[in-house]
Structure 1
Amino acid sequence: MQKKFNKILVANRGEIAIRIFRACAELGIKSVGIYSKEDKYSLFRTKADESYLIGEDKGPIDVYLDMDGIIALAKEKNVDAIHPGYGFLAENSEFVRKCEENGIAFIGPSADIMDKMGDKINSKKVAHAADVPTIPGVDKVIETVEEAKKVADYVGYPVMVKASNGGGGRGMRVVYNEKDLALEYETACSESRKAFGKAVIFIEKYIVDPKHIEVQILGDKEGNIVHLYERDCSVQRRHQKIIEYAPAFSLPKEVRENICNDAVKIAKSVGYVNAGTLEFLVDAEGNHYFIEMNPRVQVEHTVTEEVTGIDIVQSQILIAEGYTLDSEEIDIKSQEDIKVSGYSIQCRITTEDPKNSFMPDTGKIQVYRTGSGAGIRLDGGNG
């Protein structure tokens, strides 16, 4: 059953908020923005049809994590749906449930699917059940240093200590020997608590110099799922992506096809709905391993949009309205309809100090010139 949205609230800020506002405008849907007092003069708040200051007594991050405040505003302004973007509440199943309880559509997967796929431990169990290979390790929570040592001995060094609810490189530590394990385990726990509110840690074998490949998928409410092929995000610093490109031409065609097919297999096994990305590592022998799923839109969605011509954010909204992939509005009749044309590359610019081991830094931007010309896409968020 289809329900046309008249108004969508975007529970985010910056570039991704503007990206979603644009998709709403192109679909003839009114957009509602929210902003903190610190974002009063940010560009994104001027791009929505309506924009409201919330949480005057809250910090700049807490505003965008205020589930009750966001939902209260959505109800007051007669909002039909909420798009979370990425980060903040995008992978928070409690927020999804609150939306559902208040009669507001959440543009993304259901809370149950998010619980399964947004958690690294749970998603590895799903992959096992779907007969998709995962990195050797122990798929359970490691609660003490002593337990971590036993697991590391079993898996074999080097190992990766990971926060199950982590992302963006936070809560991830590579350990090469037992003498460093206790410190790295405690550091991963600390990073996880600060970034995600709790420490849920597991350990797996560390794959040396892998290719990091991710597959974009779309699924509708009728069980139809397709992949939009793969992206290569192997160039990273501190486990955070720096350069992303599509297609992943450095891998053999057969390996790429196998990864894409396994991504669809996992998504179908849980009845995944809306946009999502499944991530894999490929070792030197060409073996691929599922590592996690991001049940949301990603920063890198633009790379896939450019080579496939499919608007992922508009598709998210249309799927949430009840349209199927083969509908006239989305117009993906089958997997064979999706073609890759040309190449696309995304480069992230970071503020780091090269004289201090490239640590994150702050300062004043003196000159800023954007790229321009044929083939250049610029998704900006502040100005």
Structure 2
Amino acid sequence: MNADFATLCANEPELATLRASLRAFLFADRDEFGWQPTVDAWLSSWDEGFSARLGDAGFLGMTIPGEYGGQGRSHLHRYVVTEELLVAGAPVAAHWIADRQVAPGLLAYGSEEQRQRLLPRIAAGRCFSSIGMSEPQAGSDLAASSAKATKTAGGWLLSGTKVWTSGAHLAHQIVVLARTGPVDPQRRHAGFSQFIVPTHSPGTTISPIVMMSGEHHFNEVSFDEVFVDDATVLGEIGAGWHQVTAELSFERSGPERILSTAPVLTALVRLLAAQDDLDDHAAAAVGDLLARVISLRQLSVSVARALAAGQAPVNEAALVKDLGTRFEQESVELAADLFSYATQVPGREPVAALLDIARLHSPLFTLRGGTNEVLRGVVARGMGLR
């Protein structure tokens, strides 16, 4: 294999062994516990028992060092685990944010007390977290956030409202971005800090945001002078923007920005493969679909390799998220078109059900983690164009 191309893959022997062992775990766990693959599982499929079993089997906390209860492996090992969980449509939502974003933040910026207290629970699949960033008047433009924390004796008083806070009603804690310094029009990103706020803190109100389908994943979270002590500060006061920017690289670049619809696509391809008279148009459409998945996957792997090398690929992560989520949205309608060709084989009902879920979730793909318009601004600035 060409060496340059090999770097865009994740097929080294050690990674292949990890991939095979996780697949075996997933097959056995599904047979025993009966969970069903679903689309957008990292948002919609919350199963605390599954997260605990995954942790017990050693498939969580891949990049957390052994002294904190993790596996002490690389971002590429974590990438392989993430990819396999998404393709399987496994119920991963409970541990997702804690493992993906909070753990790297704690390792980079957290105090030793925070690491000792939280990282072992994250690696065990028993710590559930949400992220408090967006606000009613500040969605992707986080610099417009107005939630504030005011210094008081022994800690801080936190006030403000966060929206679209995934899983807050079930999580143990919310990592909140709040303003701790005065607004400076010349330096909009200055004066922010992060706090690890327990969801049961007095003065915290969590209200559901229910989707038209009746699903409840998102929440509005209000803080009314919530007291948080100094030990809840994540990193340095005033360094919140830098920390959040690094954190968003983990959120934006992973395979979840490409593979949220993988369960319906793989089920559909299997269905079409059993069709005797699949015409050339449908075959070409399947080929185009797979080619796009493969190329986007290579981009995502390249970001994982950069993270493994200690780099901060902010621009690359934004690009992966932009291209990946646009593909995910387009893949839903393409899948619906291809589904119409599968007319002579059994097994259509499960694929139709997955397709219905994909259509419901499709509008979310290009919004969460930053709208595509904002991401293109990030890329433009990184290229010196703005």
Q: Which has the higher helix share?
A: 2
Instruction: Give TM-score scaled by structure 2 length.
Output: 0.30
Instruction: Give TM-score scaled by structure 1 length.
Output: 0.30
